[in-house]
Amino acid sequence: MAKALQKIVGLGQRLGTSVVTQGPKVAGDAVQWTRPRLSKFWYYARVELVPPMPSEIPAIQKGFSEVVASARSGKFMNLTTREAFRNTLVCVEVAFWFFVGEQIGRRSIIGYNVKSDHPEPKYI
């Protein structure tokens, strides 16, 4: 029992020593690895996630009218698989951000607490 305890203590000491000696190097490597990726992310976030400018609103309206015209004429059926997949991904992204906005508005991941007039079943 004492030998097992000594092994555990020795393992803890070695682990603590390696964390103290190698921790700053690992943290520096992590910062060096994330810095270019974060700068690229912030570049695209500033470009893509800004609200539309007032001058861009007519182009948005034109795009919506083209989508409606495509739906009415059946033009969307002539899309390539890649274009259809991209359009599907855009729709999924819009739905995702809608659900995230709902969770932010509720301040909870769990849905609304709806009160019912019906009694709960006894078997639950």
Record the pTM: 0.46
Give the model confidence (pLDDT) of 28-41 as tens digits. 888 899 999 999 99
The predicted pLDDT at position 111 comes to: 74
Tokens of residue 19, six digits = 């964390």
Give the model confidence (pLDDT) of 6-31 as tens digits. 778 777 877 778 777 888 888 888 88
Q: How far apart are CA 34 and CA 30, in angstroms?
A: 6
CA 36 to chain centroid? 20
CA 85 to chain centroid? 19
The answer to whether 70 and 76 have CB atoms below 8 angstroms apart is yes
Q: How far apart are CA 118 and CA 120, in angstroms?
A: 6
Q: Which long-range contacts (CB under 8 A, 24 or more apart) does 2-7 make?
A: none
Give the model confidence (pLDDT) of 59-106 as tens digits. 999 999 998 998 899 888 898 999 999 999 999 999 999 999 988 888
* Residue 103: other Cβ atoms inside 10 A: 13
